[in-house]
């Protein structure tokens, strides 16, 4: 496959020298320079893109990270940080002329501070391991991306990960208290701590979701919350996506903030039911799953309120999960939606736009039209509470349908922006949506963001080629040149 980001073969020729230099900075076996060993890192969860890195380095300490970055900074070598490699947007895709900085050895929880309701963990600790460390004491870490058993907390910071419960509990950025970060220069800085809000500029907020372009996170402090005493779930079936959408709006308008609120369209319901046997009705056009948490009394009262609202908005089915097993069964279908689609189609693309909720009927109608025009099926699952849409575009790569699938994907994201939404709600821009950034941002908007990048990394060495159309250099007055990548790299897939 063509390199997604072109690389400098002269640097590749220096591989042995660079590996030798890195071996002086970290343990000798922590530098991988053979192609077999490097193959592990050739892609992240966006497997359409593959590239072997120049070398991979697996440091064990923050001092080693600093030494590696200092060396790369001095040598003008590019660096791609990587957690567990679960990015869905190619954020951890290696560069052929870049050092892959694997953070897997940063796997210790450093401090569980229940009195201050926070946990400090090294960057490579998994999201779920943080909850595991505190659950016996009745706490949990709220953001729960679907990859939570594998994805790292450092990667969550880089991507500002969400999850099905972020409607009520926020994304990573709303649950983060402190970071230790190594800048591209090799400087080690601490931002925040166990307290709320910064004393100066909010670098914590800026670094969160910066997709590894501004610094390498080595340590993370997050707030933890007491596990709600009760959780209830409700499944609602509707005769149309419009009435389901109106029901969501009415629930919100009534002052109820569910812990989660998911919607599936007819195709998704059928695929999920065939796969998971969750007991979903097959005669409805849209299915809502609402989860409510709090005290037992709260959950009971809110479930009743939501049911009343749903009835008033034409719900034709309503099932309340009264126990944990039933709740798990209702969720099983939704959680199986992606693998279920994987079973009915050889390949699929998962998109990730966010739209204002009220635009849902229009967007679904237009997605259907795109689907018919391109002759490919689209299945929709939707974090309905916060407007985050995941259309799954079904195609067969072996039948030469990839280009068409990507064209629909790009059109769907353009549609999201057109109706007031954004290109990505939780998966990140990475390499996947990089060339669509000008759809949402003007050149001035992008230049300001690139100047921010320059303030952290003037040589553009840290994860370059991701998020932004190619950045060339930072010149003195801070002006940068933005090339729209689609023109510069016509061989790139566009979506």
Within 114-133, which residues bind another protein (CB under 8 A)?
A: 114-117
List 6, 170, 361, 438, residue binding another protein (CB under 8 A) = 170
Closer residue to another protein (CB): 256 or 486: 256
* 319 vs 439 by CB, closer to another protein: 439
* Smallest gap from residue 276 Cβ to another protein (A): 25
Q: How far is the CB of 377 from another protein (least distance, A)?
A: 25
Q: Which residues of 344-361 are buried (b: 16+ CB within 10 A; e: fewer)?
A: ebebbbbbbbbbebebbb
Q: Pick from 39, 257, 397, 475: which binds another protein (CB under 8 A)?
A: 257
Q: Does the protein bind another protein through residue 350 (CB under 8 A)?
A: no
In the bound state with another protein, the residue whose beta carbon lies nearer, of 40 and 257, is: 257
Helix (H) or strand (E) run with residue 344 in it: helix 337-344
Cα distances (angstroms) measured from residue 445 to each of 211, 377, 442: 18, 35, 5
Measured between alpha carbons, how far is 495 from 484 in angstroms, rounded to an integer?
14
Stretch that binds another protein, among 10-18, 32-40, 46-54, 426-434 (CB under 8 A): 426-434
- Restricted to residues 280-299, the positions that interact with another protein (CB under 8 A) are 294-295, 297-298
**Candidate residues 73, 313, 374, 383; the one interacting with another protein per rule CB under 8 A:** 383
**Per rule CB under 8 A, is residue 146 in the interface with another protein?**
no
Q: Does 334 contact another protein by CB under 8 A? A: no
In angstroms, what is the minimal distance from the CB of 373 to another protein?
A: 26
Single residue of 8, 14, 441, 486 touching another protein by CB under 8 A: 441
Q: How far is CA 411 from CA 59, 365, 366, 434, 440, in A?
A: 41, 13, 10, 14, 13
Say which DSSP state 295 is in: S
Size of interface with another protein, in residues (CB under 8 A): 99
Residues present in the chain in total: 495
* Interacting residues with another protein between 36 and 95 (CB under 8 A): none
Using CB under 8 A, which residues numbered 215 to 254 contact another protein? 226-229, 249-250, 252-254
Residues of span 459-478 touching another protein by CB under 8 A: 467-468, 477-478
Instruction: Please say which residue, 285 or 300, places its beta carbon nearer to another protein.
Output: 300
In degrees rounded to 5, what are phi and psi of residue 20? -65, -40
Q: How many helices (H) and strands (E) does the chain have?
A: 18, 19
Q: Which is nearer to another protein, 362 or 454 (by Cβ)?
A: 454
Radius of gyration of the chain (CA): 23
- Report DSSP state, residue 126: B
Name the residue with tokens 């002006």.
479
What six digits make up the tokens of 389?
């849409």
Using the rule CB under 8 A, give the single segment among 37-45, 163-171, 371-379, 396-404 that binds another protein. 163-171
The whole-angstrom separation of Cα 482 and Cα 494 is 17
Binding flag, residue 481, another protein (CB under 8 A): no
Taking the CA atoms of residue 29, residue 35, residue 36 and residue 38 in that order, the dihedral angle to the nearest 10 degrees is 60
46: its two tokens? 């966006």
Least separation, in Å, of the C-beta of 448 and another protein? 5
């Amino acid at each position: 496959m063509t390199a997604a980001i072109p690389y400098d073969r002269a640097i590749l020729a220096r591989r042995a020298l660079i590996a030798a230099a890195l071996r002086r900075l970290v343990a000798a076996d922590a530098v991988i320079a053979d192609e077999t060993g490097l193959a592990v890192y050739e892609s992240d969860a966006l497997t359409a893109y593959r590239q072997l890195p120049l070398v991979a380095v697996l440091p064990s300490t923050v001092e080693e990270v600093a030494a590696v970055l200092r060396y790369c900074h001095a040598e003008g070598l590019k660096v791609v940080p990587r957690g567990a490699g679960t990015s869905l947007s190619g954020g951890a895709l290696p560069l052929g002329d870049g050092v892959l900085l694997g953070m897997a050895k940063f796997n210790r929880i450093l401090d569980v501070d229940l009195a201050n309701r926070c946990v400090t963990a090294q960057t490579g600790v998994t999201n779920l391991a943080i909850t595991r460390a505190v659950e016996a004491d009745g706490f949990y870490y709220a953001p729960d991306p679907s990859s939570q058993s594998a994805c790292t907390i450092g990667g969550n910071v880089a991507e500002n990960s969400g999850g099905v419960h972020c409607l009520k509990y926020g994304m990573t950025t709303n649950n983060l208290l402190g970071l230790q970060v190594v800048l591209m220069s090799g400087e080690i800085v601490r931002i925040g701590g166990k307290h709320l809000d910064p004393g100066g500029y909010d670098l914590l907020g800026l670094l969160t979701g910066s997709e590894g372009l501004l610094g390498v996170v080595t340590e993370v402090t997050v707030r933890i919350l007491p596990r709600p005493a009760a959780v209830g779930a409700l499944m609602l079936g509707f005769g149309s996506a419009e009435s389901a959408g109106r029901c969501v709006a009415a629930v919100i308008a009534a002052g109820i903030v569910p812990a989660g609120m998911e919607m599936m369209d007819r195709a998704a319901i059928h695929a999920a039911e065939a796969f998971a046997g969750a007991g979903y009705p097959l005669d409805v056009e849209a299915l809502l799953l609402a989860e409510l948490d709090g005290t037992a009394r709260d959950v009971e009262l809110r479930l009743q309120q939501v049911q009343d609202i749903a009835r008033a908005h034409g719900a034709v089915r309503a099932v309340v999960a009264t126990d944990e097993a039933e709740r798990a069964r209702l969720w099983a279908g939704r959680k199986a939606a992606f693998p279920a689609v994987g079973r009915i189609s050889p390949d699929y693309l998962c998109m990730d736009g966010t739209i204002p909720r009220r635009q849902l009927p229009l967007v679904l109608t237009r997605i259907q039209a795109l689907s018919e025009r391109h002759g490919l099926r689209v299945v929709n699952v939707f974090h309905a509470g916060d407007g985050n849409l995941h259309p799954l575009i079904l195609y067969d790569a072996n039948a030469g349908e990839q280009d068409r699938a990507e064209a629909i994907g790009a059109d769907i994201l353009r549609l999201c922006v057109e109706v007031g939404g954004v290109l990505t709600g939780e998966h990140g821009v990475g390499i996947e949506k990089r060339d669509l950034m000008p759809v949402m941002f003007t050149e001035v908007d992008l230049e300001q963001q690139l100047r921010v990048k320059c303030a952290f990394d003037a040589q553009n060495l840290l994860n370059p080629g991701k998020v932004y159309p190619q950045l060339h250099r930072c010149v003195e007055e801070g002006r940068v040149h933005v090339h729209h990548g689609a023109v510069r790299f016509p061989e790139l897939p566009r979506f």
